[in-house]
Amino acid sequence: MCNPAHFQIRKVTREFNVNGEKLTALDAVSLDIAEGEFVTIVGASGCGKSTLLRLGAGLDTTYSGRISHEGKVVTGPSLDRGMVFQEPRLFPWLTVERNVALGLENSKFTKSEKKRLVEEHLELVGLAGFARAYPHQLSGGMAQRAGIARGLVNRPNVLFLDEPFGALDAITKARLQDELNDIWARERITMVLVTHDVEEAVYLGDRVVVMSPRPGRIRDIVAVDLPRPRERTSAALARVRTRVLESLNSTESKPSVGPRLVEGERGSKSGPLRPAVALAN
């Protein structure tokens, strides 16, 4: 976390045209992500969190504002930025190992290096025994592991994950969260994960970015200063979770519901660009 300008999002606005009406998906959003940081983004559906992720990954380039990665403006996808989608999006006609190898298609590694990298990453996500299987032979969790391996195999500088565990059952989800946490801890790749699951956001993130919908804005940024590996049931984590939930609830446009404050917590009706708040461990 030595370089604060590692990944910068500056006053980014993205508008969509829906049936002739202008819809502001993101409204002047700014966010700095440090190298090696694990940032999670939560918000209700329609808050623009996935839009923000796609802009960061360079999959969508029609925006105003500025997004830069290591000082270079993002103008499209790059092999330095990996992407893991909500659906595994594996190519059904390729085996698992060849699906993972797709991530290396345009890299400069030699053939033997590519082979080794694919093997290593299959090992990393626990799919070593399924290299020759076809996607339809995998369970949902295994397919998503393969998707993560494909995103990681090229050693990207930043990995974007768009609700990667959204479609999985609770047990598989918890296991994959732990595995992702281990991978992050070992590889020190910057990770940006979008989710609608507050528990997941708090469990994995160094910072949790809370977004509010219509128009999509950053409502709050909550730092999670807790040592890893974290305990899902710890009181400290629960406090952070409550804090994030508070923020989320205050973003709902229902003013009649009063703020439910937790003891020891100050009410935080923060502006869109509120600086990170460190919580006691």
Partner 1 sequence: MTATTASARLVRFRRGVTLPIVLLIAWEISSRTGLVDPRFLPSLDEVALTAKRELFDNDLIGELGYSLMRNIAGFLIGSVAGVAFATLLALSRIADRLITPTFNGLKQISLLAWIPLISVWFGFGEQAKVVFVALAAFIPIVLNTYEGMRNVPADLIEVGGALRFSWRQRILRIFLPSALPSIATGVHLGLIYSWLATVGAEYFLAVGPGVGGLIIAGRERFDMALVMLGVMILGLVGFFLNRLAYALESHLLRWRPQLG
Size of the chain in residues: 281
State yes or no: residue 77 binds partner 1 (CB under 8 A). Answer: yes
Q: Hey, what are 212's tokens?
A: 């509010």
Q: What stretch of H or E contains 25?
A: strand 21-33
The sign of the dihedral angle between the CA atoms of 185, 84, 157, 33 is negative
Out of 7, 63, 85, 184, the only residue in the binding site for partner 1 (CB under 8 A) is 85
Task: Fill in the per-residue mask, 94 to 113: x = in contact with partner 1 (CB under 8 A), - = not in contact.
Answer: x-------xx-xx-------
Out of 93, 112, 233, 280, the only residue in the binding site for partner 1 (CB under 8 A) is 93
Half-sphere exposure of 278 (CA within 13 A, CB side): 4
User: 60 vs 14, 138, 161, 206, CA distance in Å?
Assistant: 10, 30, 15, 26
Give, in degrees to the nearest 5, the angle at Cα 200 between 137 and 133.
10
User: 279 vs 180, 240, 243, 265, CA distance in Å?
Assistant: 23, 7, 10, 10
State yes or no: residue 167 binds partner 1 (CB under 8 A). Answer: no
Out of 25, 26, 52, 83, the only residue in the binding site for partner 1 (CB under 8 A) is 83
Identify which range of 86-94, 175-183, 219-227, 235-243 contacts partner 1 by CB under 8 A.
86-94
Residue type, 108: K
The least distance separating partner 1 from the CB of residue 218, rounded to whole angstroms, comes to 24
For the chain, helix (H) and strand (E) counts, in that order, are 7, 10
Identify which range of 42-50, 71-79, 203-211, 251-259 contacts partner 1 by CB under 8 A.
71-79
| Residue 22 vs 136, nearer CB to partner 1 | 136
| Residue 62 vs 256, nearer CB to partner 1 | 62
State yes or no: residue 263 binds partner 1 (CB under 8 A). Answer: no
Footprint (CB under 8 A) of partner 1, residues 50-69: 57, 59
Contact footprint for partner 1 (CB under 8 A): 57, 59, 77-79, 83, 85, 87, 89, 91-94, 102-103, 105-106, 134, 136-137
